[in-house]
Structure 1
Amino acid sequence: MNSVDTSTDTAHVVICTTGGTITASTTPAGVVAGDSDAATQAMLDGLRTVLPGSVRVSARTLLDADSSTFGPAEWDRVVDAVADVLTDPGVSGVVLTHGTDTLEETAMALDLHHTDPRPVAVTGAQLPADHPEADGPANLLDAVLLAADPVSRDLGVLVVLGRAILQARGVRKWHTTESVAFARNAPDLPVEDLPPELERPTLSGRARFAGTRVDVVSCPPGSDAVALRACVEAGARGLVLEGSGSGNLPPLVAEAVAELSVERPDVVVAIASRVPRGEATATYSGPGGGAELATRGVLSCGYLRPGQARVLLTALCSLTDAADPTEGAAEIRRQWPRFHLYS
């Protein structure tokens, strides 16, 4: 699926495909289903008819599945593939086509590793390729033009859908069907006023997500600690708890977290918020309040919501290779402030 003649005067963008709605079609029963390589080829052929002559594209098929089936193993595969593409100095940028269900996690995994100045744009679609108002072609064109543009350098991984361009950290799918599918939860500050913590810190090495268990546990009002304890017994090295407000927990969950801090200090616990926007902080007192939990080593997830916080915590657990698991967990807690406003 490589494009034809090359030229040193043209920007070369590599499109890495993983399936998703952007190449899906609708069955006679009205069900959206993944399509074959032919749909991907048709997508690329259509793209080439509208691209300016200053941009050429080639493509690599990485995966071909609904992104709801993706997890740590797929994050590893995508991170490796994008890094491999960027070993070619002739590549100007990368576009990753991805299903929107779990796009925010994959984008986070990529961004944590992305130290190359060349842009990586992640895009997808809300409507299948055979829909009369399919949004995939416009999203793909926008993503390719962005990845080819030198102005996009040094911005990290960018999510491009519905004419919106968003930096990866803090991104979350906010609507199941609308074309503007994603919003970004981040500090509302002018670029010149951003503190050093917002300079997109990256990992110190290559994380391996597969094989490192970190679970997300929802903690709605009145919930108990059954799910939390089950995750620990299953071997979780970290837990992201979805609390309320700025990061507060129900009494029974807070009690279990306090016990866990004594019984299993090797398990890292972080608290995110179920609130769509704003920061989770160690603010409130009381047994379930963030301030009290912080005294027990519990981390606040800042502007990240549970999905991306899980990716970050998994990466840090993967990179911490301490002989003593308790010391390893303590090292993760020491590293966390590096990512603190986005974590």
Structure 2
Amino acid sequence: MNSAETSTDVPHVVICTTGGTITASTATDGAVVAGDSDAVTEAMLDELRAVLPGGVRVSARPVLDGDSSTFGPAEWDLLVAAVTDVLADPSVTGVVISHGTDSLEESAIALDLHHSDPRPVALTGAQLPADHPEADGPANLLDAVLLAADPVSRGLGVLVVLGRAILQARGVRKWHTTDPVAFARNSPEQPVEDLPPELERPVLDGRARFADVRVDVVACPPGSDAAALRACVDAGARGLVLEGSGSGNLPPLVADAVAELTDDRPDIVVVAGTRVPRGEATATYGGRGGGAELASRGVVPAGYLRSGQARVLLAALLSVAEAGVTASDDERAATATAVRRQWSRYHLYS
């Protein structure tokens, strides 16, 4: 995404629409289903213009129209391209993306990894459909537009705005299925006075092509074996995110398979995360399957990212690192080594 100098004299916020609950409606059987997104968006725009401060201009750009649980690498590529295109216009002050909440955390980090422009990009959505008597979408959209139009938001990267909460993209995850405050951020617990005035937020050196790289998430609960891991490798995974327990520890049978994999396939990057909602996955424990033992074999601790965002970051790093690389084993192994070294720089703000 470019770094165009922009004028903020007349704030202009572009809303990129992708569907989701914010434009959905309730069927006669009680199920929430996609509705006429264009019509709902136009109605929301009319409501916005009636309450926005004078001088704030909004326009809409349809990008996708679906339940975000159906989104994946191809949709992340499309969103990155759409936001890049919108920000090519220097008259745009900021971007809002209305998005389903199911995969919002993946889209947020995919965008943030590319976003070097100081202008804000805010993702928002809803927990209740548009026709609900207490629909939260209009208020969330208003908050996101006001944030995107405000100069104070410049330089903060991609933000998630829902239920009056404002969260930076890396480390964010959906924490509740129905609560209006749908998202929380897993990050280092630092006293406010210790935070730097400007957080370092490194972006990728090139454009990732998510659809070109397969990265799989494998749940590894206590007592599990390596059948799922081996199936993902056989399917062509270039990276694996293993969701273990504790601070990133794996069951013995999975750990044995990982040991074999790191010896036989050094071109595959393995990241060890955790099912625990808060805190950091680290190389702490020794022994069979412990994080320290895994790290000694080249397995990367996921840090503060959980499996969804870790998958996106790993795919992005592999895609950029492999640009122009041939399919030779030696080159792919060298690329994998480079990705392992880069991980800690990108996984969360330093």
1:219–1:134 CA distance, 2 compared to 1 (3 A): same
1:21 corresponding residue in structure 2:
21
1:93–1:125 CA distance, 2 compared to 1 (3 A): same
Q: Aligned with 1:95: secondary structure?
A: strand
1:16–1:332 CA distance, 2 compared to 1 (3 A): same
Per the normalisation by structure 1, the TM-score is 0.95
Counting only pairs closer than 5 Å after superposition, residues 30-109 of structure 1 correspond to structure 2 as 30-36=30-36, 37-109=38-110
The CA distance in 1 between the partners of 2:168 and 2:154, in whole Å, is 12
Superposed CA deviations along residues 6-32 of structure 1, whole A, max 9, x for unmatched, are x98420000000000001111111111
The 8 Å contact of residues 284 and 292 in structure 1, kept in 2 or not, is answered as yes
The CA distance in 2 between the partners of 1:152 and 1:83, in whole Å, is 18
Counting only pairs closer than 5 Å after superposition, residues 270-289 of structure 1 correspond to structure 2 as 270-289=271-290
The CA distance in 1 between the partners of 2:124 and 2:147, in whole Å, is 11
RMSD of the TM alignment (CA)?
Answer: 1.7
1:198, CA displacement in angstroms? 5.7
The 8 Å contact of residues 252 and 288 in structure 2, kept in 1 or not, is answered as yes
Superposed CA deviations along residues 273-322 of structure 1, whole A, max 9, x for unmatched, are 10000000000000100000001000001000000000000001111123
The CA distance in 2 between the partners of 1:339 and 1:151, in whole Å, is 24
2:146 corresponding residue in structure 1:
145
Superposed CA deviations along residues 143-182 of structure 1, whole A, max 9, x for unmatched, are 0000000000000000000000000110000000110000
Q: Which residue of 335, 340, 347 corresponds with 1:333? A: 340
Q: Aligned with 2:128: secondary structure?
A: coil
Residue identity opposite 1:92 in structure 2: T
Q: Aligned with 1:215: secondary structure?
A: strand
1:31–1:216 CA distance, 2 compared to 1 (3 A): same
1:336, CA displacement in angstroms? 1.4
Residue identity opposite 1:276 in structure 2: P
2:182 corresponding residue in structure 1:
181
1:4 corresponding residue in structure 2:
none
1:197–1:237 CA distance, 2 compared to 1 (3 A): farther
Q: Which moved more, 1:218-227 or 1:34-43?
A: 34-43
1:303 corresponding residue in structure 2:
304
Q: Aligned with 2:113: secondary structure?
A: helix
Counting only pairs closer than 5 Å after superposition, residues 143-292 of structure 1 correspond to structure 2 as 143-190=144-191, 193-194=194-195, 199-292=200-293
1:201, CA displacement in angstroms? 1.3
1:334, CA displacement in angstroms? 1.8
Q: Which moved more, 1:253-262 or 1:44-53?
A: 44-53
The CA distance in 1 between the partners of 2:8 and 2:216, in whole Å, is 47
1:341, CA displacement in angstroms? 4.5
Residue identity opposite 2:343 in structure 1: W
The 8 Å contact of residues 8 and 151 in structure 2, kept in 1 or not, is answered as no
Task: Report sequence identity in percent.
Answer: 77
The CA distance in 2 between the partners of 1:28 and 1:206, in whole Å, is 44
The 8 Å contact of residues 115 and 203 in structure 2, kept in 1 or not, is answered as yes
1:209–1:151 CA distance, 2 compared to 1 (3 A): same
Q: Aligned with 1:113: secondary structure?
A: coil
1:191, CA displacement in angstroms? 5.3
Q: Which moved more, 1:254-263 or 1:328-337?
A: 328-337
1:47, CA displacement in angstroms? 1.4
Superposed CA deviations along residues 249-271 of structure 1, whole A, max 9, x for unmatched, are 00000000000001111100001
The CA distance in 2 between the partners of 1:195 and 1:319, in whole Å, is 29
The CA distance in 2 between the partners of 1:158 and 1:197, in whole Å, is 15
The CA distance in 2 between the partners of 1:290 and 1:196, in whole Å, is 33
